[in-house]
Chains A and B, each alone.
Chain A
């Protein structure tokens, strides 16, 4: 797979971003962290392209992006009231993410190398948070789940980040295999990324414009 195809696949996020920009003022503010996360994702793809051309590496911007992404997604779960009963857990998760990122990028390794351990940790945390929100939805939601943006986003998080943990594990340990092999494994993530971006677009399209009244979670 050549670089152009990979770039086009990565830029599939643009659909969701455009929809989110068009609908931004109408969308319920509780979804703003996710909207910011989508826009940040697009910005990172563009920066990655520019930095790859100029510096032949997009590690620095990607490392900063994953930190911001993890914060935004955790904030999103906060606005979905996941931490209502344990508000301190929200701070603990943010601190854990920050400290893992700092240790990996400045102590164990350098910021101009891809931080795989951080990616594994934050993907794992996102999957766990998504499962918790799904459990919450199963009890609370009285409408069909298929058109529920929270459900769509959480399911996609579970699929995408589960696979991401596997891919990053291959990237770190590699089974003593060649770079070509690792890249091939990484390519599967690209296709899952396209699927995820399309589901995100649907989720953004179905985000409610008003605050729906629900029972406390």
Chain B
């Protein structure tokens, strides 16, 4: 290389370093901006979910604590009314309807915010949910859980809602006869695995369409706990969801 070429070569080197530095700055700023976006997104989702859960708790409490006793009072009043044999029959029917209403209110209140979830923990709440479902549905659900350490209330609610959503999806779309649910702690993470023997689906094909509100909800709740959802499904081979939640971060959420 002559002197002129050496100069050009040096210029090329300097330009390369400058372009490299600009690219590096671009990458770093992109990562920082992305982190800020994630934080903002998490705060927004957290606020939405907290508002939703608070509202559910309030409605459940109103139904259980206000409307329930009121209906009991009405039922009691009816039972003390002295009436003719014909009227008594109508009153008995009304009383029976009131029993149904009280029972339904209990169920709705429990669906909105199961008392077991906050009192005993997520495993017991899922057990209760499965017991209740087995009375009305043909889907056989098995729930296996090892000793799960106590979770923060928010995380327990999120985990419960995730299981609730998966069961709901299996009932609605999977056409499955069996659903297995496993909840286990594996060292640093909490893992929830669900698998059914339903029709399955092509994930890549389905993912190009708009996902339902339920699936978005599932994803939001998992992301809020810093977790990941993995889906393994093929048409005709059922669906398997694996949700991994890091325990260390879970207690910081």
Distance, CA A211 to CA B231, complexed state (A): 6
Do A180 and B1 contact each other (CB < 8 Å), given the known contacts A142-B223, A162-B19, A210-B230? yes
Please tell me if A108 contacts chain B, counting CB pairs below 8 Å.
no
Distance, CA A138 to CA B220, complexed state (A): 17
Contact (Cβ within 8 A) B34 A214: no
B16-47 interface (Cβ within 8 A of A): 16, 19-20, 23, 27, 30-31, 33-35, 37-38, 41
Contact of A134 among B1, B30, B241 (CB under 8 A): B30
Total number of A-B contacts with CB less than 8 angstroms?
83
Of B5-13, B123-131, B145-153, B169-177, the one with at least 4 CB within 8 A of chain A:
B5-13
Nearest neighbor of A28 in chain B, beta-carbon distance: B230
The residues of A that contact B216 with a CB separation of less than 8 Å are: 215
Contact (Cβ within 8 A) A146 B31: yes
Distance, CA A138 to CA B34, complexed state (A): 6
Contact (Cβ within 8 A) B203 A211: yes
The residues of B that contact A86 with a CB separation of less than 8 Å are: none
Do A145 and B34 contact each other (CB < 8 Å), given the known contacts A81-B208, A216-B207? yes
Of A7-15, A56-64, A181-189, the one with at least 4 CB within 8 A of chain B:
A181-189
Do A178 and B5 contact each other (CB < 8 Å), given the known contacts A162-B19, A163-B16? yes
Contact (Cβ within 8 A) B8 A177: yes
Distance, CA A211 to CA B241, complexed state (A): 10
Whole-angstrom distance from the CB of A186 to the nearest CB of chain B? 11
**8 shortest interchain CB distances as A-B pairs:** A210-B230, A213-B229, A181-B5, A213-B231, A142-B223, A181-B1, A216-B207, A177-B5
5 further contact pairs, Cβ within 8 A, besides A184-B1, A213-B241: A138-B33, A155-B27, A166-B16, A181-B8, A213-B229
Q: Show the binding face of B for A, using Cβ within 8 Å.
A: 1-2, 5, 8-9, 12-13, 16, 19-20, 23, 27, 30-31, 33-35, 37-38, 41, 203-204, 207-211, 215-216, 218-219, 223, 228-232, 241-242
Question: 19 A-B contacts, Cβ less than 8 Å apart?
Answer: A81-B208, A138-B30, A142-B38, A142-B223, A145-B34, A162-B23, A170-B12, A175-B8, A178-B1, A181-B1, A185-B9, A188-B12, A210-B230, A211-B232, A213-B241, A214-B207, A214-B219, A215-B216, A215-B219
Q: Show the binding face of A for B, using Cβ within 8 Å.
A: 30, 81, 84, 134, 138, 141-146, 155, 158-159, 162-163, 166, 170, 175, 177-178, 180-181, 184-185, 188, 208, 210-216
